Structure 1
């Protein structure tokens, strides 16, 4: 990999000259990351990660930059590569290298070969701990780079898709070290997934298209925490929201939340805008494309671009052209046009800036505290996937409330006694 910094920090980034803007963005994000600021001060004092090498495969954003700085200040030797080819903020990558001395391997729009070469570079760091967002880093380490596992003691995973993959690895006996599923922390998925994904996905769709959502039929595929947030924000902008689901419990929840719920076969004929947030593949596919309106907009905010069957769309099309940045117009053989956003990749990071820093504050606080926990307890953990310990999850929530100036009640001794007992009745 090229060394492009005067400080001789190993990296492969787009342009070191972008660092000035990147530093401002990092500092702007830091203002809204109060919990991570508290943890960083503690890390500086106690150095819990001293002597540990960390390889992180995450979205290279201003929020992630503040996490990496926190890890560095806690004593870690950390490197960062991108977890998605379109999610890197090149100016942030440049600033991390120039201003903070953190090696970064990430370029927005990198091709597939470059993407995986950057993961290889991160593994060349011979990590003690892996941090993943989608489990590509772990997958490569377990398959093509087993040499990189020599020193690994533990890891963390940020997102739903990655947790699904890791649990499958654990079930098959493939997982070689314990991993904490940061995504499963209440202070992550209930807030980051719902409020972060909800807002940033709408932001990405609107930035890419300048499409008016008021009065439009907006189809949300999947009603997990991300789907809930997306549906809520789309309705808030005046869209008529349609939800598709495979889970009957989630489907009835969407009905009772006031949304129209139907099969994708039905929704495909009605939707103006579609967005998949399921973590599964081929959610939008050939039979759906064949039913869509002329001018339909399709997008994805799940981790991988497999949620939309792009090869099937290409086979149905006679031509393709880029009409706007991050908008590819496919002309179908019958004359209809379907607009694919962001190459089917995470639209909230492809054409927008990802989650707001105030919500990533909780997610990355979970990450930092999980690393501290793993350093102390990895020897007692099995080679499996674990939730963030409840006491850490509650600590993050408490710190977030304090940073917002919000006070809550405490149980009285009488209430504690009542909740602990069983004899007191009517």
Structure 2
């Protein structure tokens, strides 16, 4: 395998600043650090190239460096144009990882970075939103042959993968990391719940207490956003299309109603569905003067920006990450971060302790694919339970928490149909 390729970053002189951020994150990622100790000796990825498309910030850099320490040649790009931190990208490039990423690139440049990453001919892939896998299948099938498989981190990406699998078009195995217990119970709920409000609060500098917050979608991310909004003193409304999730939101103590009604009441709207136009043209007409809209889904399609712009008579940037749209009747509606991920554009993303678990799942799942790809075949696979459980064990150990173990008799009892 050739030596490290030349990175494409905005400013190499930012590397020392980026290194400080990476080192801070690493101090708070004990699960990854424990895995690193094992993998430095074992080198399970020796001789393999790993391509990564993730939100390129400090915690992600720790994952990339772990895979490097496990023997891989690592190539990384961003998974969202506005979530790359240029100083972290520079720091990672100085550490021997190939980086193709800049903050806020032109659309053509963003796509080029994805292409450059794939053109290194990776053996394994870690994806966030499914861009690498989609490009491989739709545009660059000539690069498919060498790919053994990989992992996907998000709900959106897994939906795309399952569509490929259903159409019998998926060409290699992918592990659905997002669906692991140690991911969605913690990353989606506590990570998204905290980081979304970090981003909104940083962008707006407004109080949440006393306001009406509309959470659009009550999956695990929506649960986290609603829970934290309630903790900040908001009245919370949930909108849903799934009757089971809507019932759960009701029993969790939140008000449930259609968006057409919620649009009239909300002060702050947060979309977390993975679907398009969940806040649409008809809703803008009913919103209060001063309403704030933020998205926490992977793509910037959940709030219909084109319809909002078409209805507005003018717009202006009133604060970093806030665009104000003035409507014909004088109402002002505010869109945060151009409808992109508010927690990563206006904030620093999930806390390091949360991403520690998610990236441990990514690492151990990637090793599993590397060792078993020929047995798995071109399917979307759940994270094997022993990996999920191992990450939780490492997490508890890092916290100094011990738990009970079943006796042999208890295990036999549960395994038997006899009383």
TM band (smaller chain): over 0.9
Residues 8-44 of structure 1 show CA distances to partners (whole Å, capped at 9, x for unaligned) of: 8512212111111111111110111111111111111
The secondary structure found in structure 2 opposite 1:252 is: helix
Per the alignment, residue 251 of structure 1 pairs with 246
Q: Secondary structure at the match of 1:134?
A: coil
- Aligned-partner Cα distance in 2 for 1:15–1:8: 18
Matched, 1:350 2:363: no
State the match for 1:38 in structure 2: 34
User: What's 2:122 paired with?
Assistant: 127
**Shift of residue 113, structure 1, vs aligned partner:** 1.1
- What secondary structure sits across from 1:358 in the alignment? helix
Structure 1 counterpart of 2:397: 402
CA distance in 2, matches of 1:225, 1:364: 18
Which residue of 326, 340, 344 corresponds with 1:331?
Answer: 326
Counterpart selection for 1:182 from 177, 180, 192: 177
Shift of 1:271: 0.2
- For the residues of structure 2 that align with 1:106 and 1:365, how far apart are their CA atoms? 23
| RMSD over equivalenced CA pairs, Å | 1.1
Moved over 3 A (4+): none
Instruction: Find the aligned partners of 1:12 and 1:339 in 2 and give their Cα distance.
Output: 34
* 1:90 and 2:86 matched: yes
Tell me, which stretches of 5 or more residues in structure 2 are unaligned? none
Cα distance in 2 between the residues matched to 1:106 and 1:124: 15
Q: Structure 2: how far apart are the matches of 1:215 and 1:254?
A: 20
Whether 1:202 aligns to 2:202 is no
Q: Match for residue 147 of structure 2? A: 152
Aligned partners of 1:167 and 1:385 also within 8 Å: yes
Choose from 270, 295, 300 the match for 2:265.
270
Unaligned residue ranges in structure 1 (runs of 5+): 1-6
**Aligned partners of 2:213 and 2:267 also within 8 Å:** yes
1:4 corresponds to: none
Asked whether the equivalents of residues 9 and 97 of structure 1 are also in contact (C-alpha less than 8 Å), the reply is no
Alignment correspondent of 1:367: 362
Give the alignment of 1:47-62 within 5 angstroms. 47-62=43-58
Shift in Å at residue 421 of structure 1? 2.0
- Deviation of residue 211 (structure 1)? 1.5
- Who is 1:19 aligned against? 15
CA distance, structure 1, for counterparts of residue 54 and residue 32 of structure 2: 17
- Is 1:322 equivalent to 2:292 in the alignment? no
1:388 paired with 2:360, answer no
**How many residues matched?**
417
Contact kept, 8 Å, 2:323 with 2:334, in 1: the verdict is yes
Specify the SS of the correspondent of 1:265.
Answer: helix
- Does the 8 A contact of 1:178 with 1:385 survive in 2? yes
SS state at 2:87 partner:
helix
Correspondence 1:138 to 2:133: yes
The alignment's TM-score, normalised by the length of structure 2, stands at: 0.98
Aligned ranges for residues 287-306 of structure 1 at < 5 Å?
287-306=282-301
Residues of 2 paired with 1:149 and 1:59: CA distance? 23
Cα distance in 2 between the residues matched to 1:298 and 1:111: 24
| Aligned mates of 2:296, 2:306 — CA distance in 1 | 18
Rounded Cα–Cα distance in structure 1 between residues aligned with 2:321 and 2:109: 20
Separation of aligned partners in 1, 2:373 and 2:38? 21
2:403 aligned counterpart, secondary structure: coil
